[in-house]
Structure 1
């Protein structure tokens, strides 16, 4: 038995041995992608190929902690119904023995070319890093070609998460990096054949970049065009909280600019967070046949109380967000649930025209654990409006202060914690609730809040309250399980 076969066998055995305890978890999600056992983190290799969407993911099947990651794999023809496929990559070779870390995929000559980081550590914990290539004709079985990029000069071995694309006949790769001066940066490489790569330097961050010192490491970069602008998404580590911003341990966001492929330069503006909630990290995008820029993200944050999630007791941890479409509106990236999400709606909508005057109300049929809630035509005056989801979380809008707040009951100590953003006007909310998660889209994706929540198991109530006057229209659907 080869090392690859041995690792696959052990992983499948772990799935089989723990299936019952995993499935018995009352906090198991209904319509989000989760690991069959163990830990899931970054989305990898997100691509549409021959009419099939492939989403690979960082997977540790043997425990709910991090370690020598595999690439797990989901596939779908409609972005709604997903099949858990065979393992795509195992850390079986010398150049990846401590993990097949995150990466991306591109189509070339009818095949999927997957690029990922091979992680290697010695007995003292010293790190080596290699950007590796694996090729597949069907997206299921991969032929590993090994390292195609070794560590360039000027960087520490924290050099990972390659994202590759083609532009005007040339291939480009951005890599999350740390300079030798311990500054986060995005490195650019260029190739004519996807196998031989030249280092083109730093296009964001670094020792003298426009952002100044902006953390000690940038992870999971992704550069793409959106409505005539070039958007660089990345996840900086090491930012200090600043007012309502940067409240999580690590962040995920973007800058907007113009990329010059010939010069290998990127002129960009300031950093903006993509999501204001507790749990959103390592987003990755792809372009589909409809011309949409689609995004998945990991619904968690590294080193942020991961081992306190109650799902640990049932041998699994973390999930993906729902898929989203990105749009550029007035110089800001908006995120919208995909149109395909409507296929999950189960039965007729429950609708109300609501008006509250210094009161709290529940509406018959507006409750549940897996649902979509649309709140439109919102008007609030003389105080705040809030919606409570059992005892798991609540959202509050204060029009006088122009602040939107998400509060949740901490799964660490039970205390109330919050995340906030400035919001001049609340026009609409679209909320996806799923057993132990909530995703909130404000004003057609102008702002988003994504979080894991753990409400009391026997409480499915939703309560609407206004300290002054509030009026709005409610539309609620139950959602099917995948």
Structure 2
């Protein structure tokens, strides 16, 4: 089926490309210190997040040979503290018939000193197909590892014959966990449906069960009562503080002024009391750059989330200015999750506090390539603003009452160059905004409002003379910079 894949020396090929562009990337003014980036080329979804043998492992969709993506590898990096990451060789590539068009997203399960990785093998057949019902083959595969780096032979677990007949060929992104002696796998899916001659597919999730990680059978489907997007990607099902949480990326939701503002959304639903998912859906992040999050539980019992600081198919709306330097995209800072007031709150992992910080004086300063954190409290009834950049070229964060607005427009209403085409995003809190925490790591800003009730992530591309921070209207403000 198709041409044979030549991959005998694929690791050496990747190393050669990374080494060839090393000096170019190291001199790029937009590289970050504490975020996972591609060593070269393109990065998207986080995969296989876990803590294994005491070390944090993060895998990701990696295209080292193309800055515009296209898949082909699982990249890999490791960390002891979730902030300082060491890049390793990629661990998976397209080397068998079931994954020859892509080693798509998946997850990790740790058991008895072994890591098991599950992922989707994608095949797109050449020809005149719609690639919805025909021309696409989606399989779920597994590998194992004793060190997180060297993988076993691949085992095919599920193929097209194992999915319900009313599903399209879009079935992917396995998340696997163990509960009460059984293994469970949740898959994102697209259920076939029509309204007359008009296609009206329904996003959903499929949950499979196994006793041995190899033989799987369908346990149940998670379906909305009302159509809620045509495809659900990157599903994740977990318990947090006694609540049953479904995380997923529903594609095809209509945009609203203060909701679903991106082309594709990422969010969660609380299913504890049997609610239908669309009724309790909340977005994880209201910024320009967030998609495909995955969570895991570390050895201390923390539920940690990492997302892709990007969104698919945005070339027509906004760009990443690092492309000119041979790379594109990053992952978010790892975030600890907890529930509060019927919602999931996100905060940067506490390891942030272990960095060496130096406080700046006042509410105005410049910055270079160090990480910056801004901590503010607001005054009742008084608007507050945080500007990153200059009046002519910067990001303005405006907070007033229960509304936060993030904009790359200057005072004349013209788009700021540092936004690459990004314009406005708006969020609302349940009550008045009382606190905001902003992290800046060179070309990414992450805003946590009211202790993480609302989060906004954006990329920002400032030249060094424009790297200014100005805070106005806050009751208190502290600006800190790392000394590393």
- TM-score with structure 2 length normalisation? 0.89
Equivalent residue for 2:315, pick from 286, 289, 305: 305
Determine the structure 1 residue equivalent to 2:241.
227
Determine the structure 2 residue equivalent to 1:454.
461
1:350 Cα deviation after fit: 2.7
1:412 Cα deviation after fit: 9.2
Contact 2:295 2:303 in 1 (8 A): yes
1:4 Cα deviation after fit: 3.6
1:456 Cα deviation after fit: 3.5
1:413 Cα deviation after fit: 8.5
Distance in 1, matches of 2:55 and 2:7, equals 26
Q: Are the structure 2 counterparts of residues 392 and 434 from structure 1 closer, same or farther at C-alpha, using a change threshold of 3 Å?
A: farther
Determine the structure 2 residue equivalent to 1:165.
177
Equivalent position SS for 2:188: strand
Contact 2:60 2:76 in 1 (8 A): yes
- Aligned pairs for 1:417-456 within 5 A: 417-423=423-429, 424-456=431-463
- Aligned pairs for 1:40-119 within 5 A: 40-119=43-122
1:367 Cα deviation after fit: 4.4
Determine the structure 1 residue equivalent to 2:198.
none
Contact 1:305 1:412 in 2 (8 A): no
Moved more, 366-375 or 36-45: 366-375
Q: For each residue in 1:22-56, what CA deviation from the matched residue of structure 2 results, as whole angstroms up to 9, or x when unmatched? A: 22211122221100101000000001111111100
Equivalent residue for 2:9, pick from 6, 11, 16: 6
Which structure 2 segments of 5+ residues have no match?
A: 130-134, 194-200, 409-414
Determine the structure 2 residue equivalent to 1:318.
329
1:145 Cα deviation after fit: 2.6
Does residue 1:129 correspond to 2:131, yes or no? no
| Superposition CA RMSD, Å | 2.2
Distance in 2, matches of 1:335 and 1:274, equals 9
- Aligned pairs for 1:79-478 within 5 A: 79-124=82-127, 126-151=135-160, 152-153=163-164, 154-181=166-193, 182-203=201-222, 205=223, 209-210=224-225, 212-258=226-272, 268=277, 269-305=279-315, 308-346=319-357, 348-350=358-360, 352=362, 362-363=363-364, 365=365, 367-381=367-381, 384-390=383-389, 391-399=393-401, 402-408=402-408, 409=415, 417-423=423-429, 424-465=431-472, 470-478=473-481
Contact 2:407 2:423 in 1 (8 A): yes
Q: Are the structure 2 counterparts of residues 76 and 338 from structure 1 closer, same or farther at C-alpha, using a change threshold of 3 Å?
A: same
Q: For each residue in 1:67-90, what CA deviation from the matched residue of structure 2 results, as whole angstroms up to 9, or x when unmatched? A: 242000011122122111121111
- TM-score with structure 1 length normalisation? 0.89
Query: How many residues end up aligned between the 2 structures?
Result: 453
Equivalent position SS for 1:258: coil
Equivalent position SS for 2:92: coil
Distance in 2, matches of 1:112 and 1:428, equals 40
Q: Are the structure 2 counterparts of residues 68 and 41 from structure 1 closer, same or farther at C-alpha, using a change threshold of 3 Å?
A: closer
Distance in 2, matches of 1:227 and 1:64, equals 40
Contact 1:45 1:103 in 2 (8 A): yes
Equivalent position SS for 1:166: strand
Equivalent position SS for 1:393: strand
Distance in 2, matches of 1:100 and 1:431, equals 35
Equivalent position SS for 1:64: coil
Distance in 1, matches of 2:422 and 2:58, equals 34
Distance in 2, matches of 1:304 and 1:415, equals 10
Distance in 2, matches of 1:458 and 1:377, equals 28
1:417 Cα deviation after fit: 1.1
Contact 2:321 2:420 in 1 (8 A): no
Q: Are the structure 2 counterparts of residues 166 and 325 from structure 1 closer, same or farther at C-alpha, using a change threshold of 3 Å?
A: same
Q: For each residue in 1:168-192, what CA deviation from the matched residue of structure 2 results, as whole angstroms up to 9, or x when unmatched? A: 1111110011012221111111111
Equivalent position SS for 1:95: helix
Q: Are the structure 2 counterparts of residues 167 and 404 from structure 1 closer, same or farther at C-alpha, using a change threshold of 3 Å?
A: same
Q: Are the structure 2 counterparts of residues 413 and 380 from structure 1 closer, same or farther at C-alpha, using a change threshold of 3 Å?
A: same
Structure with more of its chain in strand, by fraction: 1
Q: Are the structure 2 counterparts of residues 131 and 480 from structure 1 closer, same or farther at C-alpha, using a change threshold of 3 Å?
A: farther
1:480 Cα deviation after fit: 5.3
